[in-house]
């Protein structure tokens, strides 16, 4: 199985690569259009800032390639946000795979610290795909200051300040706001489910 | 709801974990990677690895260890000890650390906090504060608690917060190693005035101490070393206990 990890200027991708290796696959880190198109599965990871990441994707023609991919694609963290229509972070138009807009968290109480960082639980909306055999209530690890609102594409929701999209799904596109590669055994199950799609 | 975090801390010297009592007298407690893996499997929410080696060679050993941790452990981890400039941060993040913690370097040059958060994001920057209470109040210390400064704990913590750090790791030197509970009063004052998460350290002796640090100290996370290393408290047992006490923990 050929797993491609999209290479772009979005921080540390090695934790994703390590997590895939622990599952027994050797991923290919690449920004080549041909390699991405011919992969069995594509992981679109990231930490970092949305407008700079979008600029890099545009400069490398990846902004057109990623939405046209036919195989299962998994966006992680900033990857999920970039798959939406627009982001308030840097006020930038994104890939528009999911027709929702990314918003900035606004604290409602003293306890609402930004970024939302740490372990929070999932409410599963679509118990299939990457959430096959999930019951809800599982904890996963988040680090983010921007969020995707709940929509028809929400595969799992998490409540922080208000409910938001912890994970999304539409056709062959999957995405998580949290970091499955840092979410212990639960995260490993999610990645394994993705590899088995 | 965001879970309260339990964080074992591993002090590492020449590739081995050690733990001091009141910052002195080191005792052996095992291989850091094996220990980290066990904690992760037991339900630790994060790990902290502190490099207490001073030598250049020790630093290299520590960087190699960080790479192995990143390859083998699937929960977030912070590394600290000897980080004094951006290049050190870069080296640790490239080796796979999720966060770095700075202490003396931030007290000596507070601008370092701004530089790290600007370059790598606030979430990677944990500022550790060692402080001791005496008749004049709470004073911050340098160099692992050896050198007192002019800084007051609360003023410094507020400055760290405002400079954009992601978290504060507060160690009470009065409580550290004594195993009679965390500094809940000081913690409550910190968590009330700050807008970033506070990790409590120093004083864990029994499971009730963890309950109190969350209910009275309002800490976001609790860090401990020897109670875990020497098996006095097991993490699965601790989490079950905290859950019964109505504290939101990840099980």
Average of pLDDT values for A177-181?
Answer: 97
Q: What is the pLDDT of residue B24?
A: 42
Between B75, B121, B166, which is nearest A184 by CB?
A: B75
CB B196 within 8 A of CB A115: no
Q: What is the pLDDT of residue A10?
A: 65
Burial class (CB in 10 A: 0-12, 13-18, 19+), B115: middle
| Pairwise CA distance, residues A192 & A181, whole Å | 11
**Which residues share a beta bridge with B87?**
none
pLDDT per residue over A12-39, tens digit each? 688 999 999 999 999 999 999 999 999 9
- Contact residues, A window 167-186, toward B, CB-based 8 Å cutoff: 181-185
Backbone angles phi, psi at B137, to 5 degrees: 105, -160
Write down the domain spans for chain A.
Answer: 3-195
| Pairwise CA distance, residues B187 & B9, whole Å | 19
User: Could you tell me which of A132, A126, A138, A139 has the C-alpha nearest to residue A171?
Assistant: A126
Average of pLDDT values for B28-47?
Answer: 87
Q: What is the pLDDT of residue B120?
A: 87
B-chain CB neighbours of A141 within 8 Å are 75-76
Nearest chain A residue (CA) to B71: A18
Q: How many CB atoms lie within 10 A of CB A29?
A: 15
A-chain CB neighbours of B76 within 8 Å are 141, 182
Domains and CATH numbers, chain B: 5-244 (3.20.20.70)
| Pairwise CA distance, residues B127 & A154, whole Å | 36
Task: Give the DSSP letter of residue A11.
Answer: S
Q: What is the pLDDT of residue B143?
A: 86
pLDDT per residue over A139-153, tens digit each? 999 999 999 999 999
Helix B56-72 to helix B32-42 angle, to the nearest 10 degrees? 30
**pLDDT of A132 strictly over 60:** yes
Burial class (CB in 10 A: 0-12, 13-18, 19+), A24: exposed
Alpha carbons within 13 angstroms on the beta-carbon side of residue A178 total: 34
CB B56 within 8 A of CB B83: no
Q: What is the pLDDT of residue A21?
A: 97
**pLDDT of B125 strictly over 60:** yes
Task: Assign B54 a pLDDT band (cuts: 50, 70, 90).
Answer: low
**pLDDT of B22 strictly over 50:** no
Task: Assign B74 a pLDDT band (cuts: 50, 70, 90).
Answer: very high
ipTM for the complex? 0.91
**Which residues share a beta bridge with B11?**
B18, B50
CATH 3.30.70.120 fits A3-195, yes or no: no
Yes or no, beta carbons of B1 and A181 under 8 Å apart: no
Average of pLDDT values for A63-90?
Answer: 96
**Which residues share a beta bridge with B28?**
B18
| Pairwise CA distance, residues A14 & A19, whole Å | 8
Between B93, B122, B196, which is nearest A12 by CB?
A: B93
Backbone angles phi, psi at B26, to 5 degrees: -80, 140
Straight-line distance from the first to the last Cα atom of chain A, in angstroms, rounded to the nearest whole number: 12
Q: What is the pLDDT of residue B181?
A: 96
Residue B239 touches chain A, beta carbons under 8 Å: no
């Amino acid at each position: 199985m050929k797993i491609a990890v999209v290479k772009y200027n979005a921080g540390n991708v090695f934790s994703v690569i390590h997590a895939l290796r622990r599952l027994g696959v050797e991923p290919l880190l690449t920004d080549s259009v041909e390699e991405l198109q011919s992969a069995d599965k594509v992981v679109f990871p990231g930490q970092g800032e949305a407008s700079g990441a979008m600029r890099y994707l545009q400069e490398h023609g990846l902004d057109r390639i990623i939405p046209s991919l036919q195989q299962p694609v998994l966006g992680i963290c900033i990857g999920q946000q970039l798959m939406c229509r627009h982001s308030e972070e840097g006020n930038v138009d994104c890939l528009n795979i999911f027709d929702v807009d990314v918003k900035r968290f606004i604290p409602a109480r003293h306890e609402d610290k930004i970024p939302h960082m740490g372990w929070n639980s999932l409410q599963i909306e679509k118990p299939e795909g990457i959430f096959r055999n999930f019951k809800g209530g599982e904890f996963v690890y988040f680090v983010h200051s921007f969020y995707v609102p709940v929509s028809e594409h929400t595969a799992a929701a998490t409540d922080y300040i208000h409910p938001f999209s912890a994970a999304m799904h539409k056709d062959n596109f999957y995405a998580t706001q949290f970091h499955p590669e840092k979410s212990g055994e639960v995260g490993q199950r999610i990645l394994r489910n993705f590899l088995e799609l | 709801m965001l879970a309260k975090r339990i964080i074992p801390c591993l002090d590492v010297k020449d590739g081995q974990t050690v733990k001091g009592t009141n910052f002195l007298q080191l005792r052996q407690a095992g291989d850091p990677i094996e220990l980290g893996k066990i904690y992760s499997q037991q339900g630790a929410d994060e790990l902290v690895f502190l490099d207490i080696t001073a030598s250049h060679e020790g630093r290299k050993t520590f960087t190699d260890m960080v790479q192995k941790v990143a390859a083998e452990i699937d929960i977030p981890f912070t590394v600290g000890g000897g980080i004094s400039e951006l290049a050190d941060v870069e080296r640790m993040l490239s080796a796979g650390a999720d966060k770095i913690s700075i202490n003396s370097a931030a007290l000596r040059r507070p601008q370092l906090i701004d530089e790290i958060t600007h370059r790598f994001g606030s979430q990677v920057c944990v500022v550790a504060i060692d402080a001791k209470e005496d008749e004049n109040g709470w004073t911050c210390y340098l160099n692992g608690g050896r050198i007192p400064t002019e800084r007051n704990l609360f003023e410094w913590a507020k400055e760290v917060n405002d400079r954009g750090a992601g978290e504060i790791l507060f160690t009470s030197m009065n409580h550290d190693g004594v195993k009679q509970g965390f500094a809940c009063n000081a913690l409550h004052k910190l968590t009330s005035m700050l807008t970033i998460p506070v990790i409590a350290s120093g004083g864990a002796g029994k499971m009730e101490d963890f309950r109190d640090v969350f209910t009275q100290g309002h800490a976001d996370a609790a860090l401990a070393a020897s109670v875990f290393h020497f098996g006095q408290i097991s993490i699965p047992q601790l989490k079950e206990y905290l859950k019964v006490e109505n504290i939101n923990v990840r099980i």
